[in-house]
Amino acid sequence: MAPHPTPDATRLGPGHAVLAFDVGGTDTKSALVDASGRVLGLRRTPTPLDSADPAGTIVASLAVLAREHLAAAPGIVPVAAGVSVPGLVDELAGIGMFASNLGWRDAPIRSIAETALGLPVAFGHDVRAAGDAEHRLGAARGYGDVVVLAIGTGIASALVLGGRPYAGGGFAGEIGHSLADPLGERCPCGAIGCLETIASAGAIARRYAAASGTPVGGAREVLDAATAGDPLARRVWDDAVEALAEAIARLVAILAPEAVVIGGGLAQAGPALFGPLGARLDALLSFHRRPALVHAELGDDAGLLGTALAARDLAGARRDGDSA
């Protein structure tokens, strides 16, 4: 596993003390943020899976984590918690609509988390939380219209349009499940030729293994093989870059973001990704507004930081409401 650096201690700045939970399909990241903005006790624990009561079991595990964080930092009293989850999320209603890895459907996660944690809960979507953190603290800062793309096992995105996050009722940003190849393979989502069947880090490794008969540890190995002259690896890598460039070009025609911030495992390829991606994008566009292609800044913890920001926003809004 990649090293897991502690986020810049000053990044979040002063504000309310909050708990933050970024629930992933495999692991859950959690931390306590103090009033000075320090991220305390950041840890990664396996997300419990329970097909009988997926949401209830996960929320119960968050309550256990909360007690442990509080016990480790006596004197810090969080006034709100943030909980972010993957899948389809209706932030306004507080509902986890669907998460293929976790198994819930239309689960009222915000309300059960508020009961279990005894705190007001800012409930959100993991990738939109990460996008919000990149927009407020990271590589998307200063842009009014910006797309934050996370390319890892799958491909997802967060949209900031006119300076505000756009969620489309919880369904927006699913660029990983936009059509890339009408003659492509069926995606586990049920549609044909989704971008993430070609261009996610997971797809690159899987497609190379399937074509070569040689299992690989990840997309990085495919890139290394391509660089070393393996024509099969080159084709798999180039197909991924082309599909990403075409998807970004289509996004540009519709939304004209000033920048596309790219994070997730695949972004670690750096210039080997950004160079050819930019060149193909230039070739595909004409009069369009060409976005800057920018490497994400906050890394793996962007989702947790965004979740903490959302909890602080909620705490601030409640306090303002009290004093009004």
Q: How far is the CB of 124 from a second copy (least distance, A)?
A: 16
Selected range binding a second copy among 28-36, 160-168, 214-222, 224-232, rule: CB under 8 A: 160-168
- Of the residues 118, 169, 271, 275, which one makes contact with a second copy according to CB under 8 A: 169
For residues 289 and 319, which CB has a smaller minimum distance to a second copy in the complex?
289
Residue choice 59, 89, 117, 187 for contact with a second copy (CB under 8 A) = 187
Q: Does 289 bind a second copy (CB under 8 A)?
A: yes
Nearest one of 145, 103, 153 to 127, comparing CA atoms = 153
Q: Which of 29, 125, 177, 207 binds a second copy (CB under 8 A)?
A: 177
Would you call 243 helix, strand, or coil by DSSP?
helix
Task: Locate 274 and state its tokens.
Answer: 């950004």
Annotate each residue in 120-159 with x if it binds a second copy (CB under 8 A) or - if it does not, as one string. -------------------------x-----------x-x
Say which residues have a Cβ less than 8 Å from residue 249's Cβ, sequence separation at least 6. Answer: 281, 284, 285, 288
Site for a second copy in 62-101 (CB under 8 A): 88, 98
The DSSP secondary structure of 55-96, one letter per residue, reads HHHHHHHHHHHHHHHHHHSTT---SEEEEEESSEEETTTTEE
What's the closest the beta carbon of residue 11 comes to a second copy, in angstroms? 28
Pick one of 2, 228, 254, 324: the residue that binds a second copy (CB under 8 A). 254
- Footprint on residues 231-250 left by a second copy (CB under 8 A): 246, 249-250
Q: Indicate whether 24 belongs to the interface with a second copy (CB under 8 A).
A: no
Q: How many CA atoms lie within 13 A of 131 on its CB side?
A: 31
Cα 127 from Cα 130, distance rounded (Å) = 5
Q: DSSP secondary structure string, 154-212?
A: SEEEEEEETTEEE-GGGTTT-GGGSBS-TTSPBPTTS-BSBTHHHHSHHHHHHHHHHHH
Entry field: residues in the chain: 324
Return the residue of 60, 76, 93, 172 that touches a second copy, per CB under 8 A: 172
Of the two residues 71 and 254, which places its CB atom closer to a second copy in the complex? Answer: 254
CB of 108 to a second copy, least distance (A): 19
Q: Closest separation between CB of residue 8 and a second copy, Å?
A: 31
User: If binding is defined by CB under 8 A, does position 288 make contact with a second copy?
Assistant: yes
Beta-ladder partners of 80: 18
Q: List Cβ neighbours of 50 (8 Å cut-off, separation of 6 or more).
A: 56, 57, 58
Contact (CB, 8 A) for 105 and 218: no
State both tokens at 188: 């586990």
Per CB under 8 A, residues contacting a second copy are 88, 98, 145, 157, 159, 161-162, 164, 166, 168-175, 177-179, 182, 187, 189-192, 246, 249-251, 253-258, 284-289
